[in-house]
Amino acid sequence: MKTEITSTAAVRQFGDCLARIKYRGEVFVITRNEEPVAELVPVGGQRRARWREVREALAGLAVDPGFADDLERVNEADATGENPWDS
């Protein structure tokens, strides 16, 4: 999503712009005299997926029928032992 913003507004709302870039992946086109002069964009490689994208990615995965059994074995192996200091 690209949002046009004047350079004056960008200066006044810089913290908000950075938060929207970080958490929403927004792109800001900074204008001066109604002409685009720069873009503020998220840093490459740090994009966060939207829930819709996560659901679509997970929907394409095969179901592992043994997964629940694996989790049960992990939980059993992770059980805490007796406290040796309690007598």
User: Residue 12 belongs to what domain range?
Assistant: 2-61
Asked whether residue 39 is domain-assigned, the answer is yes
Reported as a single tens digit per residue, the pLDDT across 25-42 is: 899 999 999 999 999 998
Instruction: Write down the pTM of the prediction.
Output: 0.52
Asked whether residue 76 is domain-assigned, the answer is no
Is 21 a residue whose pLDDT tops 80? Answer: yes
- pLDDT at 81 (0 to 100): 73
Reported as a single tens digit per residue, the pLDDT across 38-69 is: 999 988 866 677 888 888 888 988 888 899 99
Asked whether residue 83 is domain-assigned, the answer is no
Asked whether residue 81 is domain-assigned, the answer is no
Asked whether residue 45 is domain-assigned, the answer is yes
Q: Which of 4-8, 16-20, 78-82 has the lowest mean pLDDT?
A: 78-82
Please enumerate in sequence order all residues whose Cβ is within 8 A of that of 30, keeping only pairs 6 or more positions apart, or say none.
Answer: 5, 6, 7, 10, 36, 37, 38, 39, 40
